Structure 1
Amino acid sequence: MSTRDQAIRSAQALVDDGRFVSELAELVARPTESQDPARANEMQRYLSDLLMPRLVAAGFDSEIHPNRYGNPFLVARRIEDPHLPTILGYGHGDVTRGQEGAWHADGAPFVLRQDQDRLYGRGTADNKAQHLINIQAQECVIAARGKLGFNAAWLIEMGEETGSPGLEAFCQENQDLLGAQVLIASDGPRLSPDVPLVFLGARGAINFTLSVELRKGAHHSGNWGGLLTDPSVILAHALSTITNARGQIQVPEWHPTSLTPDIRALIAKLPLPVGPAIDRDWGDAALTPQERVYGWNAFAVLAMESGVPAAPVNAISGHAKATCQLRFVTGTDVDDILPALRRHLVRAGFPQVRIDRSDNGFFPATRSDPDNPWVARVITSLRKTLGSDPHIAPNLGGSLPNHVFIDTLGLPTVWVPHSYGGCNQHAPDEHMLLPVARQALGLMAGIYWDLGAEA
């Protein structure tokens, strides 16, 4: 048995002997809800009590850095030889709200509970288990080889679930500290629980509100119905011009230019994500379902409000509002998204609809070059360990702060997620699949081993 095999088997043994479960339980037990300001001390303790000692023991120089915009950052570096390449890893230790009382079997969000092959708890999928797997895999390579064979750095943030406040500024101000040749990290879901995925970027997202403000207060619908314009009707008709009846975008400037033949060929090999049955007659009719989510833009109405929805009265409201979102890929002019919508609504006869960009919910679209040699090295390693090809996607359908690595730090990015679409991320009963964790530990140990051997 080669030493590479030893590293892989020792990584997988972490699941077999229960160490992965017990170590994940310690991480999950910290209620690092970044949406709750009262949890600020938990953010610091997650880094100082759990991750920093572990990384120091593995030979990393580690430091917690304050963040003037929010929760702190942990940066850890293991420099084996200044002439070797540096691989940057990333993770986030913050989670969404626990939603106590909504978990099945009286589960508590911050108590890890195992039910057969499922590990339930907030952060098991997003993102505590994912960065734990990668750290453990590096530890196994160090134990087997005596070194990584490359320089390694880690950046762990505690605010991703609130839009990563301060992350871009921190990376801009600490480019020397975070200098690397590539980002290899794990977040998001696989498309299939059984097959690893490599994705190279993420769709962007921009949130905004559309509103119609006609008058103050509401007026009796019997006395004033037929005399006063209903803002809800105006807004509904305005929304109906943004897409057609099957959700196909009607704003020309929102059609991306990046769905090229090579990207189409990459997407054609992808399965649909595991989860609810898709509606095949929804979205652009000229695109495959996979192209609609990995290669195209999607408009969504996230919420609508007029009057008092919880207690309707017989009155015509004076205002109506819809919170909307555009998920967009590269090849979309970000600066023209909302101006293009304004022009479209004016052309359609709805100049009275107001557009306001939301303060949060924005991520730029990113995509590394599929032909980048770092991508090939990761895929070759996965193929060697797995004995078959992984899935390769040009970008995730969702959004990540990937722009800070591509645009701010200038790195190619290679993401290898360890969750799956049915993990209940951000919802009650969030969970990690033990077979996926075991496979992922072996795969990441193989990647780190091979990158060291090639350095």
Structure 2
Amino acid sequence: MQERKDLLDAAAEFVDSGRFREELERLVAYPTESFSPDGRVALKSYLDEVIEPAFTAMGCAVERFDAWRGGSNSFLVASRHEDPDLPTVLCYGHADVTDGQAGAWTSGRDPWSLSDEGDRWYGRGSADNKGQHWINIVALRLLLEQQGRLGFNLVFLLEGAEEIGSPDLAEFAAEHTGLLKADVFIGSDGPRLAAGKPTVFLGARGGVSFELVADLRSGSYHSGNWGGLLRNPATTVAAAVASLVDGHGVIRLPELLPAGIPHSVAESLEVLDLAPNPGDPESDPAWGDRTLSPAERLYAWNTLEVLALGAGNPDKPVNAIPGTARASLQLRFVPGTDVAGMEQALRRHLDAAGFGMVDVKMGMSFPASRINPDNPWVSWAAGSLRASTGRQATVLPNIGGSLPSFVFADVLNLPTLWIPHSHPGCRQHAPDEHLLVDVAREGLQIAGGLFFDLANAASPASTGTHRSSTLTASSVS
């Protein structure tokens, strides 16, 4: 239809003209770091001066929940309700960014100034997440300018602390289910499968961190005089780790694994090609559970990784048995994993293996979630992406990393569609974070196409099937 093509052309022109870059430059200039007091001040200014005016200009009502309940997270909810008989979409983004790491960027780049190099726009937040949520906001603006109305109801939620684990987001959503009520969730965060592969993912793996600590004595003792008499905490912790995950990355403790891979998830991964992107490290074919395909290992199974391992001074070792040792580990897990019983399972296992002297200290955790790939909203979104790009969309049951997807899937009981506008090599959380110009251009067309189709074409909301296949963390196991 001509109107759809006109909207996609307008989206491409918005990027080609330099207008998107100009607006992104303004967004990046706000140092909205999650963890610092100055960052919280910048966050408020970002919401006050950029986000709220953008939504009020589109006729949205805006509600603010700054430092909600005195906590570290702030929320902004923009709503535009056109007709109770129209479908409602809930969109999401996060206004905070991770540490700017000023001084560590290549060629003296300033993380708070957008800089260009070839097809890349460098700046903190360019990809994670300001560039991505701004793409969706601009797409809504362009649709409204074209049609004079959206053609659906909109709720847009921005939070201010995703980079520190989205504190209070689940509680906020549970308390404001009426405000956030919708038929479908569309968010943009994380990367595509590859820069040239439009992607839809349906959830995220969860994560739980813990430490194994052997604190056996206050000091170190000469290895010649005491070797063979004193238990070495480093050897003990290394062995304790090896009892949980072997030297080839295979988890050995069954309680750390999911119940299985649902058929619909396995089927969706059969066509997935994990070809490396330029600059990616080479994967090791002998690493991980080799009874699973690489795609199943990454998207449908659990991994236990050692993040840090320490005893003594590895840079300057001495001839002494250290007194303490510790290992920091993280389990990335999919739905169907009994995380609630994890600490007890670890304790039982270590005791049975003779490692009663190793303490287990649990750290931060965040849930996993996914919806069923057979959900009708998934084929609807994939069809929209194909119509906008001329290419088959990659559908992932979940990404390997973590996002607060469970809040929308489990707390709000929504079909969750994540449509990322970034790529795996964007260097989010690191120096030299960047947004690819071509991905931003195509992303704006994809977002415009999605919103146009929601307004003008049949969707699961209009056929009454939008809830029938919504399977979340508790049911896809």
Range of TM-score over shorter length: over 0.9
| Separation in 1, partners of 2:102, 2:316 | 27
1:280 matched to 2:285: yes
| Separation in 1, partners of 2:43, 2:222 | 51
Share of identical aligned residues, percent? Answer: 48
Q: Number of matched residues?
A: 453
| Separation in 2, partners of 1:444, 1:74 | 21
Please tell me the residue identity of whatever aligns with 1:125.
Answer: A
In the TM superposition, residue 369 of structure 1 has moved relative to its aligned partner by 1.6
Match of residue 424 from structure 2: 421
Match of residue 320 from structure 2: 315
| Separation in 1, partners of 2:388, 2:184 | 21
The equivalent position to 1:111 in structure 2, one of 110, 113, 116, is 113
In the TM superposition, residue 444 of structure 1 has moved relative to its aligned partner by 0.9
The equivalent position to 1:326 in structure 2, one of 298, 320, 331, is 331
Match of residue 240 from structure 1: 242
1:13-64 Cα offsets, whole Å, 9 max, x none, are 1110001111111111100111223322111111111111011101111122
| Separation in 1, partners of 2:12, 2:366 | 35
1:30 matched to 2:25: no
| Separation in 2, partners of 1:216, 1:5 | 71
| Separation in 1, partners of 2:107, 2:297 | 37
| Separation in 2, partners of 1:6, 1:48 | 32
Gaps of 5+ in 2: 463-477
- 2:366 is paired with a residue whose SS is coil
- 2:56 is paired with a residue whose SS is helix
Conserved 8 A contact 2:265-2:372: no
Conserved 8 A contact 1:47-1:64: no
Conserved 8 A contact 1:377-1:451: no
The equivalent position to 1:409 in structure 2, one of 409, 412, 431, is 412
- 1:377 is paired with a residue whose SS is helix
| Separation in 2, partners of 1:11, 1:60 | 21
| Separation in 2, partners of 1:369, 1:80 | 30
| Separation in 2, partners of 1:260, 1:376 | 18
Please tell me the residue identity of whatever aligns with 1:435.
Answer: D
In the TM superposition, residue 311 of structure 1 has moved relative to its aligned partner by 5.0
Q: Note the 1:131-210 alignment, pairs <5 A.
A: 131-210=133-212
Match of residue 342 from structure 1: 347
TM-score norm. by structure 2 comes to: 0.92
Match of residue 20 from structure 1: 20
1:7 matched to 2:46: no
| Separation in 2, partners of 1:179, 1:154 | 11
| Separation in 1, partners of 2:452, 2:446 | 10
| Separation in 1, partners of 2:328, 2:71 | 25
In the TM superposition, residue 342 of structure 1 has moved relative to its aligned partner by 2.2
Match of residue 435 from structure 1: 438
Conserved 8 A contact 1:419-1:433: yes
Match of residue 305 from structure 1: 310
Conserved 8 A contact 1:212-1:321: yes
| Separation in 2, partners of 1:40, 1:255 | 38
Q: Note the 1:435-454 alignment, pairs <5 A.
A: 435-453=438-456, 454=458
- 1:71 is paired with a residue whose SS is coil
Please tell me the residue identity of whatever aligns with 2:449.
Answer: G
Change (3 A) 1:47 1:310: farther
Conserved 8 A contact 1:191-1:271: no
Conserved 8 A contact 2:32-2:96: yes
- 2:340 is paired with a residue whose SS is helix
In the TM superposition, residue 255 of structure 1 has moved relative to its aligned partner by 2.4
1:223 matched to 2:225: yes
Please tell me the residue identity of whatever aligns with 1:291.
Answer: E
Match of residue 384 from structure 2: 381
Q: Note the 1:22-171 alignment, pairs <5 A.
A: 22-66=22-66, 67=68, 68-171=70-173
Conserved 8 A contact 1:189-1:417: yes
1:434-453 Cα offsets, whole Å, 9 max, x none, are 00000111111001000111
In the TM superposition, residue 309 of structure 1 has moved relative to its aligned partner by 4.5
In the TM superposition, residue 91 of structure 1 has moved relative to its aligned partner by 0.3
In the TM superposition, residue 120 of structure 1 has moved relative to its aligned partner by 0.5
Q: Report which stretch shifted further, 151-160 or 66-75.
A: 66-75
Conserved 8 A contact 2:8-2:448: yes
Match of residue 363 from structure 1: 366
In the TM superposition, residue 379 of structure 1 has moved relative to its aligned partner by 1.2
| Separation in 1, partners of 2:83, 2:360 | 53
TM-score norm. by structure 1 comes to: 0.97
| Separation in 2, partners of 1:268, 1:101 | 44
Please tell me the residue identity of whatever aligns with 1:187.
Answer: D
| Separation in 1, partners of 2:315, 2:183 | 53
In the TM superposition, residue 308 of structure 1 has moved relative to its aligned partner by 4.0
Match of residue 466 from structure 2: none
| Separation in 2, partners of 1:163, 1:245 | 30
Please tell me the residue identity of whatever aligns with 1:277.
Answer: E
| Separation in 2, partners of 1:308, 1:30 | 40
Please tell me the residue identity of whatever aligns with 2:360.
Answer: I
| Separation in 2, partners of 1:110, 1:15 | 21
1:194-233 Cα offsets, whole Å, 9 max, x none, are 1111000000000011111212222233433332111000
| Separation in 2, partners of 1:252, 1:116 | 48
In the TM superposition, residue 125 of structure 1 has moved relative to its aligned partner by 1.1
Q: Report which stretch shifted further, 223-232 or 151-160.
A: 223-232
- 2:127 is paired with a residue whose SS is coil
| Separation in 2, partners of 1:157, 1:313 | 49
